[in-house]
Amino acid sequence: MKVLILNGSPRKGNTCVAVNALQKGMDAAGGFEVMEIKANDMSVSGCIACMACECNGDCVFEDDTNDVIDAVEAADAIVFATPVYWWGVTAQLKAVIDKFYCRFEKLDDMPKKVGVIVIGEAEQDDPQYKIIPKQFECICDCLGWDMLFAKTYTAGEAGVLAQDKDAVAEMEGLYDAFL
């Protein structure tokens, strides 16, 4: 199974801890071909609603957009892993998600398994941990994708999540949802 991890964090912090734990679990289980794309390392401009993609099926920008969307298209499963920025996903990840529009017709026809990992500084009773999974639920409903898990964790300073052994153990086992 080809798994694409879309990492929305710009730093080596808690989201990296989550992604590494997930990948460790997948490597140990076997049968997963994992690719991680860090949205912050990509040059993906904001969608300008030019609608040219409706004619040619690609984004007109000559940046990394089409390569990233190629990877989305090729994946059997996608894990969105993001810090919370202002009650939402990071701008870098949102820029990638917006570009799904340029291959809407194709992506809409492709069954995909989806997982979501959200990490914020706030405690778990904050509305952000409902808002963000709900957003992904809506995206998956729209594209006919199968959202299999949405896990939310509390961690502020970079690396704090690594100290939460229960959370790390849970993340190592998340691959199970894709089997």
Provide the binding-site residues for ligand FMN, judged by CB under 6 A: 9, 11, 13-15, 83-87, 119-122, 128, 155-156, 158
CB of 74 to ligand FMN, least distance (A): 25
CB of 20 to ligand FMN, least distance (A): 11
CB of 92 to ligand FMN, least distance (A): 11
DSSP conformation class of 46: P
Residue facing ligand FMN at closest CB distance: 13
Nearer Cβ to ligand FMN (131/143): 131
Write out the DSSP string of 23-42: HHHHHHH-S-EEEEEEGGGS
Nearer Cβ to ligand FMN (66/92): 92
CB of 43 to ligand FMN, least distance (A): 20
Nearer Cβ to ligand FMN (1/158): 158
Burial classification of residue 124, based on how many CB atoms lie within 10 Å of its CB (0-12 exposed, 13-18 middle, 19 or more buried): exposed
Nearer Cβ to ligand FMN (85/149): 85
C-alpha dihedral, 114 to 96 to 86 to 77, nearest 10°: 10
Cα 142 to Cα 34, 104, 108, 151: the distances in Å are: 25, 10, 8, 21
DSSP conformation class of 103: G
